[in-house]
């Protein structure tokens, strides 16, 4: 069975379907800054982003719970966190499929 994370993109698709079916107006919800296609549909992606935020906070000797709400306004930090999350996702994928010689 394929697992897919529920993302704002999927929620908006469902909202558009409901709006068409019932003839009502529903506005799309804004996506979260970390919902980056194609990774946003991977159930592990949100964990990787969270871990990358934790690591960024620890580097500046801060509590991750302090940094998390600030991330939506820190564009450069977002890019660094997304880059690190991508590295973590790659590491997890490599660990799941070890190379056999």
Phi, psi of 4 (to 5 degrees): -130, 130
Q: Note the pTM of the prediction, 2 decimals.
A: 0.80
Residue (of 79, 91, 8) closest to 44 by Cα position? 91
- In this prediction, residue 2 has a pLDDT band, given cuts at 50, 70 and 90, of low
Could you give the percent of the chain with pLDDT greater than 90? 74
Tokens 């992606």 found at: 45
What single-letter DSSP state applies at residue 7?
Answer: -
Residues 86, 73: Cα–Cα separation, whole Å: 20
10-57 pLDDT, tens digit per residue, is 899 999 999 999 999 999 999 999 998 888 888 899 999 999 999 999
């Amino acid at each position: 069975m394929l697992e897919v994370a529920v993302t704002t993109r999927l929620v908006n698709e469902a909202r558009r379907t409901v709006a068409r079916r019932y003839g009502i107006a529903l506005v799309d919800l804004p996506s979260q800054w970390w919902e980056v296609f194609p990774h946003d549909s991977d159930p592990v992606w949100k964990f990787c982003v969270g871990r990358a935020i934790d690591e960024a906070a620890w580097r500046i000797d801060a509590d991750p719970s302090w940094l998390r709400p600030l991330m939506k306004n820190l564009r450069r930090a977002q890019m660094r966190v997304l880059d690190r999350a991508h590295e973590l996702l790659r590491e997890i994928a490599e660990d799941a499929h070890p190379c056999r010689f």
